[in-house]
Structure 1
Amino acid sequence: MSALILPQTENHPVCVLGGGVLGRRIACAWAAGGYDCNIRDPDEEQRASAVRYFETSISTFLAAEGGACGTVRAYDDLETAVKDAWLVIECFPERLDFKVNMCTELERHAPRDAMMCTISSSYVSREALEKVGDETKKGICNMHWTMSPQNKMVELMTDGQTDERVSSFLSQRLAEIGYLPVQARNEPTGFVISRMWAAIKREALMIVSQGVATPEELDSVWAEMYTKNTAGPCKMMDAVGLDTVSFVEQHYAKERNLPTEHTVDYLQRYIDEGKLGTKSSKGGLYPPGTAQETAQNSADHRDALHAPTIYFLDIGLSNSPKDFFNKGRILMGGTDGRPLKTLVDRQHMPDGIAISLNLGKIFWTSMGIPSANDGCVYSTNLDGSDIQVVVPVGNIHTGKQITIDRVNKKLYFCEREGLRVMRCNGDGSNHEVLVQNGDWRNPDEMKDQMRWCVGIAVSPSTGQFYWTQKGYSKSNQGKIMRANIDFPAGQNATNRTDIECVFQKLPESIDLECDEEGHILYWSDRGELPIGNSINRASFSRLRAITDPSVKSMPEEHYDLIARNMHETIGLAVDMKNKYIYCTDLSGTLYRFNLDGGGRRKYYDGEGSFTGLALMHV
């Protein structure tokens, strides 16, 4: 047998297979140490999310400001991702068949001298190597990471045939990037940390499944006894993912002949209901969104794993009357106490914002000067660079709210004085008018605020889009309209017959949001109290075409008023992953509510004059 050739690391990347919660953090750890990193993931959304995580979070991995930093790139193709790599780290779910097949693929495509590692904690690497040759096995080992960057311990373990120089080589590289390598002294299932954790979580699940204590009570006991770890075992399992916990427990049960009644079988009840933990919109052992409730109170770092980054617009009205027309900003923040960051400034009254993670773009509308027909739609990269015109001046009069049909990959937006609803592709092509409420060149029609279109939402599952016509300010003449995504045959924006009014005589309806999962329409209203300055909702099943102009759409009878007493409510976004509603108002406040309107929280109070709002999960 030939001797193992140790790889050259200079100008060679590290490749991570899998861009999920842990994979993207492993990539950031190596990038923070100066290595270029490739992430391979077949899912387009996961690739975009992983790269965005690197862009927004790499500073938390760097030991010092301005230190050397590599890059993180994401690929769909395995062969491209592993090309020239000196280290390949498999970061797949705990499925042995996945790992066996991937090791076979890596033997075929990875460089001959590349070291290969599996992060599995419940399978020793030997079990994944049944289809690879003995020469390949020399350069393979287990490399088990905890949740970086807060935990900087990495465990290494032989595959039974690993060359003894591999552990020493990898330990040196890990130490150089600021991590503590720990060598398992033989080949145990579960390493060191995971063996300890396995016993804790099994007993915790048994206590909960037998009804001895609730998850909250059990975690309270843990937090009291182990104060340095503010997250208890149930919250930690939610953060890891209950499906992953179940895969691990299945293997332990099979190997050690353990009963599964209180572990795997118990977890399966949650998994069957789609309750996978904090990565699921249905929650896990804890209700959805519970982790974020404590995130701002110095809770464990796992609480913020799935919290959204929040983007919103400052229209500039808080500036002096002489310059507010060009003082608009795109701002980025969160609910974790971070300061507001300005991504783009000197904008002409920005009003609506939407984000496409797949395209890596922020889109926003500009009202311009409302009387000047100089509205516009712009885009920028997620970091605020490379501002581009999507819909140029002259093609949109006064840009208002904007949204993305992610199924059909279209931008939808309203314009006020132009009296229209429009859509186009992300690059501005195929720009078309969907609804035309009059001729903006006719002064009487343009000034008729009953024709003005403001908020927009799309429901691909029902094949419809919704928009608001706010009416005159505080006039109780607001409407919510809908039409089909596809035009009726032979019809156009001026004569289409499928337009319906589903709510009328609202105080002053503004922004809209569709919950496709729950089939619920949400909207903000900036009208007068008692039912204005509010957030409202109605299930799709309650929406009916109104043909009688005298009918008044009152709460309780036709829709639910779930929150009020903001100050000129504008922007609205629903976080279905964590079950929260966010909204902005013109007094410069970001609010967060539970889906039923309870649990009000305020963030960034009085720091501008906020309009459009969008969320991004990375």
Structure 2
Amino acid sequence: MSQRLCIIGTGVIGNGWIARALAQGWDVVAFDPDPQAPARTRAFVDNAWPSLERLGLAEGSSPERLHFAESLEVAVQGADLIQENVPERLELKREILATLDAAAEAHVIIGSSTSGFKPSDLQRDCAKAPGRVIVAHPFNPVYLLPLVELVGGAATDSAHTATAQALYQALAMRPLVVRREIEGHIADRLMEALWREALHLVNDGVATTEEIDAAVVYGCGLRWSLMGTFLTFHLAGGEQGMRHMLEQFGPALKLPWTKLQAPELTDELIDRVVEGCEYQAAGRPVSELDRRRDDFLVELLALTQKYWPEAEGLEGRI
């Protein structure tokens, strides 16, 4: 029997969930009040489908298994999993999640794609079964990148978390259960730190957007795609590993190299960043850049799996 995903909100992230679920052979029912949403979503899926075909489609997968509902209340009926993807405004999310909680059967997990809000804040207005309302934060493009951060709130127990893990694994995701709720979860806090420092480098005239991206792509980014931050530094310590690395380079952490606060987004800084990105894009539309990124990620995912096969058991170790 096929599983059904309910998607509320069909922006970039919502559509990414849709494409992933369809490729895994799920039925998808979506709701978005924008009358242009169905056409926009189908164009999104069409653009993503060649990459998903290269990764390998599940038996029975088809873009035709997507349907749009006329209301949120209708959309949740019969869903095995509900994913909320409305704009990142806390009051709006609370309102939508409370409506979903009231309309859906009490056992159905409701995941929020929020990149920053804590689940206890999202659960606050849910009266029926608040514990099943969790953070399920993916990464763009959702249909290719496997990480999803799962964060439970004050009302969430281990049974809710276990159910959510199994559901997202069925979508070929790699669930990372965050040990305690915190704004920004894990990955976004790391990315925000790099992003703030990059903005300072542009603002101070140290580097252009293209030069900063090159530093990541041809340096740390290549290593991070396999090992991440800690294991990379463990190797930097030689045969003695992390202990030697911290003894040797740890004192440098006290030096004021980096800046914790983001720079003021002045008109001048905004213009520099925008002009730099437009120069890098070289007139290519976002859809073309999407396909180029997707082609690269498909090959990189295969390569990462080849050199880190034990990542298959990652979910059980987190």
* Distance of 1:224 and 1:179 partners within structure 2: 27
* Distance of 2:278 and 2:4 partners within structure 1: 38
The RMSD of aligned alpha carbons is: 3.4
Matches within 5 A, 1:255-294: 259=261, 262=263, 265-266=265-266, 270=270, 284=274, 286-288=276-278, 290-291=280-281
* Distance of 1:156 and 1:196 partners within structure 2: 16
Q: Cα offset for 1:116?
A: 0.7
In the alignment, which of 131, 144, 148 is matched to residue 138 of structure 1?
131
The answer to whether the aligner puts 1:204 opposite 2:195 as a matched pair is no
2:11 — aligned with what? 20
2:244 — aligned with what? none
1:138–1:200 distance in 2 versus 1, CA, 3 Å: same
1:289–1:49 distance in 2 versus 1, CA, 3 Å: farther
Matches within 5 A, 1:2-401: 10=1, 13-62=4-53, 63-64=55-56, 67-69=59-61, 71-133=65-127, 135-147=128-140, 148-228=142-222, 259=261, 262=263, 265-266=265-266, 270=270, 284=274, 286-288=276-278, 290-291=280-281, 305-307=286-288
1:44–1:291 distance in 2 versus 1, CA, 3 Å: farther
* Distance of 1:149 and 1:181 partners within structure 2: 14
* Distance of 2:3 and 2:39 partners within structure 1: 23
* Distance of 1:56 and 1:110 partners within structure 2: 31
Q: Give the secondary-structure state (helix, strand or coil) at the position aligned to 1:306.
A: helix
Instruction: Report the identity percentage.
Output: 21
TM-score, length-normalised on structure 2?
Answer: 0.69
Q: Give the secondary-structure state (helix, strand or coil) at the position aligned to 1:226.
A: helix
Q: Select the structure that is richer in strand.
A: 1
Amino acid at match of 1:141: I
TM-score, length-normalised on structure 1?
Answer: 0.37
| 8 Å Cα contact 2:94-2:123 kept in structure 1 | yes
1:137–1:223 distance in 2 versus 1, CA, 3 Å: same
| 8 Å Cα contact 1:51-1:73 kept in structure 2 | no
1:179–1:64 distance in 2 versus 1, CA, 3 Å: same
Q: Cα offset for 1:266?
A: 4.1
Matches within 5 A, 1:404-419: none
Q: Give the secondary-structure state (helix, strand or coil) at the position aligned to 1:284.
A: helix
Q: Select the structure that is richer in helix.
A: 2
| 8 Å Cα contact 1:124-1:188 kept in structure 2 | yes
Amino acid at match of 1:207: L
Deviations 1:509-565 (A, max 9, x none): xxxxxxxxxxxxxxxxxxxxxxxxxxxxxxxxxxxxxxxxxxxxxxxxxxxxxxxxx
Paired residues, number? 256
| 8 Å Cα contact 2:196-2:261 kept in structure 1 | no
Amino acid at match of 2:89: R
1:335–1:149 distance in 2 versus 1, CA, 3 Å: closer
Q: Which has the larger radius of gyration?
A: 1
| 8 Å Cα contact 2:210-2:277 kept in structure 1 | no
Q: Cα offset for 1:76?
A: 4.9
Gaps of 5+ in 2: 225-259, 296-318
1:58–1:269 distance in 2 versus 1, CA, 3 Å: same
Gaps of 5+ in 1: 1-9, 231-257, 276-282, 296-303, 310-333, 339-618
* Distance of 1:285 and 1:159 partners within structure 2: 41
| 8 Å Cα contact 2:208-2:276 kept in structure 1 | no
Q: Cα offset for 1:289?
A: 7.5
1:190–1:308 distance in 2 versus 1, CA, 3 Å: closer
Q: Cα offset for 1:114?
A: 2.1
Q: Say which is worse superposed, 18-27 or 171-180, in terms of deviation.
A: 171-180
Q: Give the secondary-structure state (helix, strand or coil) at the position aligned to 2:185.
A: coil
| 8 Å Cα contact 1:16-1:38 kept in structure 2 | yes
